[in-house]
Amino acid sequence: MTFLLPSADGVADEVAKRLPQATILRYEDSDTGGLADVEFYCLPYMGNGASVGLIAQMPRLRVVQSLSSGVDSVLDFVPGPVTLCNGSGLHHEEGTAELAVALILASLRQIPTFALDQSRRSWHHLRTDSLDGKTVLLVGHGGIGQGIERRLTPFGTQVVRVSRTARDGVAPLSELTRLAAAADILVACIALTPETHGLISGEVLAALPSGALVVNVGRGSLVDAAALTVEGRLRAALDVTDIEPLPADRPEWGLPNVLITPHIGGDTLAFAQRAPGFVADQAERHLTGQPLANIVKPAR
């Protein structure tokens, strides 16, 4: 059986060690002559469109394994007979929740300003904001949203929740604009679907109080980027953007009230340590006919 695997973080090496009887192709190799025999394909983490495009070149493919929790950019390219699995449980949720809180604190305490002052050897005292007493609107209350809430609670925040599935303590998406009007901080951490594309719209942004902070650790297309740019009265912290990498000519780069990180939420050392063993487990399950974990789209 042939597996196409990334070399990064030792994924291919770990599978080769665990399954010496398997044929291992490495994604980073330029020779793609063996694609016709591939049954199991692990996408490179943070790969581009080219890595997804390879799926169409594998007629015997039976499993696509993503190392990301979100598979919105892959789902439409996976044929019916192929099972798609995600990387849930590899510390993405925890890492992204940590980053969301870090972005909030860095924005409120104006850390980028002080870092710039440091680079200039300039001591310039400023009074900054605090999380204590802030109302945080979590747009999405799955694994990431719940992780953010747990980390925010000790700071004395009031957390308001809205999600696709309304339940006790979690409002429906239809309430988003109304709830935004009382939010000091809005965090987008909901999955990207046709329903949530552009969810943080111009109407929602306009409803936020002046000076409110918009944090996006979900997917870039959740937020109307043009409307956010126009809303100069708001602050923002973005780990994801609607185009990645963010083009150099985009206005977000130059806005004084925007903090940008290059989609690093789930990419932690903890993830890198867990990924090889997880992929090896999945590969072994497929090779021996055992049920796969983290199935997002079963074969049909």
Tens digits of per-residue pLDDT, 108-167? 999 999 999 999 999 999 999 999 999 999 999 999 999 999 999 999 999 999 999 999
Q: How many CB atoms lie within 10 A of CB 232?
A: 11
Report the phi/psi class of residue 133: left, alpha or beta, with left for phi > 0 and alpha for psi in -120 to 50: left
The one-letter amino acid code at 81 reads P
Look up residue 61 and give its amino acid: L
Task: Give residue 265's pLDDT.
Answer: 96
Phi, psi for residue 293 in degrees, rounded to 5? -95, 160
Radius of gyration of the chain (CA): 21
CA dihedral 272, 44, 146, 108 (to 10 degrees): 80
Instruction: Point out the residues of the chain with pLDDT beneath 70.
Output: 30-32
How confident is the model at residue 48, as a pLDDT?
83
Measured CA to CA, the distance from residue 218 to residue 95 in angstroms comes to 12
Residue with tokens 């780990």: 239
CA triplet 30, 264, 225: central angle to 5 degrees? 105
pLDDT at residue 30, as a whole number: 63
> How many angstroms separate the Cα of 174 from the Cα of each of 182, 200, 285, 286?
15, 12, 42, 42
Looking at residue 47, its pLDDT comes to 85
What are the E-state strand segments in the chain? 2-5, 23-26, 38-42, 63-65, 83-85, 135-139, 158-163, 171-172, 185-188, 213-216, 235-238, 258-260, 295-297
Q: Decide: 132 and 185 in contact? Cβ < 8 Å.
A: no
Record the pTM: 0.94
Other CB atoms within 10 A of residue 123 CB: 8
pLDDT of residue 33: 77
